Amino acid sequence: MRVTMLDLPRQLAALAPALRAAFERVLADGRFVGGPEVARFEQRVAARLSVPHALGVSSGSDALVVALSALDVGAGHEVLTSAYSFVATAESILRVGARPVFVDLPPDGFNLDAAAALAALTPRTRALLPVHLFGEPCALQALLDAAERAGAVVVEDCAQAFGATLGARAVGTLGAAGAFSFFPAKVLGGFGDGGLVTTASLSTATRVRALRQHGRTGPERYEAAGGNYRLDALQAALLDVALEHVDGFIAARRQSAREYAQALAGLGGLVVPPPSEGHVFGCFTLRVLDGRRDALARHLSERGVETAVYYPTPLPLQPLFAALGHRAGEFPNAERAAGEALSLPVHPALTASERGRVLDAVLEFFRSR
């Protein structure tokens, strides 16, 4: 048996009776778009995150678009964001008509370099879009302070970080808005696509509600170009069941991360994620030095351990952003991370025996070279 990056059947087995009951409830009710299931899930997530407004949408990608649009980010604006993330982060900026301005990483981290972001601010900067990558909270205070001075807004990309915290605050509640993904592999994973926008602002929440229904503000009244960005009732009902168990999922991820970090600390040629309060380990991502990342991945695969490479090409070098004119070498830390990052299995169903197999295989690789 392989040790896989994800094992949803095992992770969700104990939830099956409650999930079936939720399905039957929605089927009997017959309201499959909107309705009480969505409202209940939104209320419970808002309470879980201690935020006034939590609004279900169709995906994490659409959550970013709706959040930016609700904050009037669009044509003629610049949005600062990380050079190292999933494509949806910067794609959302293009989708609202704005221009992505990429910011490099610090030499030793995966989240954007706050000092570099501050240096990139211009009078055209309308928003900052930091990413809590791999479930690790991004240091936000300097970005929030700078955005306030510049008259810009901060939208947090929390796609991989449900439940992560900065001090006593949940990520997604510090900026003007937060965007979450419920893709099945996430910390709070759904049963298809789904997402969420969080905000403390009533006016922003009102805009999000309109935009997720084609800009609808009343019966047959449409005031903005939105879209069909709604969260389905069945998805909300099933997610509501998973929400009951998310703290256990996070605890299991953290346990695996602790065991990995303790066993691999100090190993030459490898950098483990540093201890970080509030990290939920959507991914446990190593940095494999000296150009040996792909060799380690092959070694682990040969021993039945699945790994993943997130993300092999920094965003500024993706063809989608070619019109911005970036070239290799402009974002050296992001480019180095793209060549070194390797994620190990850390899903909540991972057993102690499986963690042992992963560690044995990693240690074998380094001790034999």
pLDDT digits (tens, 9 = 90+) for 248-293: 999 999 999 999 999 999 898 999 998 888 999 999 999 999 999 9
C-alpha dist (Å) from residue 356 to 225, 350, 365: 52, 10, 14
pLDDT at 275: 81
Q: What percent of the chain lies above the pLDDT cut of 70?
A: 100
CA pair distance 100, 6, nearest whole angstrom: 32
CA pair distance 148, 366, nearest whole angstrom: 47
Mean pLDDT of 344-349: 98
If you average pLDDT over every residue of the chain, what do you get? 97
pLDDT digits (tens, 9 = 90+) for 201-222: 999 999 999 999 999 999 999 9
Q: Is the pLDDT of residue 156 over 80?
A: yes
Cite the beta strand spans of 189-345 per DSSP E: 195-199, 216-218, 221-222, 270-271, 284-288, 341-344
pLDDT digits (tens, 9 = 90+) for 313-334: 999 999 999 999 999 999 999 9
pLDDT at 266: 86
Q: Is the pLDDT of residue 368 over 90?
A: no
pLDDT digits (tens, 9 = 90+) for 54-99: 999 999 999 999 999 999 999 999 999 999 999 999 999 999 999 9
The answer to whether the predicted template modeling score (pTM) of the entire model surpasses 0.95 is yes
Its CATH class, for the domain covering 8-103+110-243, is alpha beta
So where are the chain's domains? 8-103+110-243, 246-367
Q: Is the pLDDT of residue 369 over 80?
A: no
Judge if the upstream peptide bond of residue 222 is cis by omega within 30 degrees of 0. Answer: no
341-365 CB burial, b ≥16 within 10 A, e <16: bbbbbbbbbbeeebbebbbebbeeb
CATH number corresponding to 246-367: 3.90.1150.10
